[in-house]
Amino acid sequence: MELRKINIQDAHAQWEYTTALPADENGLTNPYHGVTYDEYKKLVLPALISYEHPVNMPEWFVPETYYYLWDEDRLVGEFRIRHRLTEALRNGAGHIGYSIRKGERGKGYGTEGLRRTLQIARSIVPEEEIYLRVNKDNIASQKVMLNNGAYLAGEDEAHFFMRIPKNR
Ligand SMILES: CC(C)(COP(=O)(O)OP(=O)(O)OC[C@H]1O[C@@H](n2cnc3c(N)ncnc32)[C@H](O)[C@@H]1OP(=O)(O)O)[C@@H](O)C(=O)NCCC(=O)NCCS
């Protein structure tokens, strides 16, 4: 397995994943659902790559890096790291968002992908803990977090706020 940063060579597999990913699934949003390959190559991919070192982006925008989990030649999931917290992220989506391809769920990819993403996030994120948010009815994602050492740090009506100490 490999967690590979978004790149131009993998454009077709990344597009195929992105265009199929729902616009909003359990709070994981994707504005590019249904995008054509042409639009992806010309507009979406350059934008997503640039988010790691944003230029001309609004003040609130935090650098964000996209990674894809590969099992041999199959792209099985996406993991996004937001490099630091703002007030909105602290009380919202946190540092990491992820999804696994529908036909590949329940095989351990979510757990292993988050494990690998955390290894990278530990060296990027300045905060002492990695912040995550999950819908209360999303049992699979809660397990993915718990499998990676998360603890319950708070909740609101619809979400649990989970954290993973960086030095665990
Ligand atoms: C959440 C998600 C990433 C989990 O990925 P996954 O590859 O299925 O996760 P794993 O295979 O590592 O499974 C983790 C645990 O959840 C369990 N699980 C998987 N699907 C489940 C389901 N539908 N209901 C209940 N438990 C489930 C697994 O059995 C496993 O349990 P275990 O740790 O006791 O063995 C995937 O379901 C997904 O992409 N969902 C849509 C997007 C999303 O919700 N993203 C997260 C937002 S916070």
**144: closest CA among 117, 165, 167, 126?**
117
Give the DSSP letter of residue 160: E
Our mutation pick for probing the ligand 1 site, out of 131, 138, 141, counting the most ligand atoms within 8 A of Cβ, is 141
What's the whole-number average pLDDT of the chain?
97
Domain residue ranges of the chain, discontinuous segments joined by +: 2-165
- pLDDT score recorded for residue 167: 86
- Ligand 1 atom at minimal distance to the Cα of residue 144: 14
**168: closest CA among 112, 115, 104, 132?**
115
Cβ–ligand 1 contact at 88 (below 6 Å): no
CATH class of segment(s) 2-165: alpha beta
State the average pLDDT over residues 46-67: 95
Give the DSSP letter of residue 9: T
Helix (H) or strand (E) holding 133: strand 129-135
- pLDDT score recorded for residue 37: 98
- pLDDT score recorded for residue 110: 98
Higher pLDDT, residue 56 or 165: 165
Q: Note the pLDDT tens digit of each residue in 127-159.
A: 999 999 999 999 999 999 999 999 999 999 999
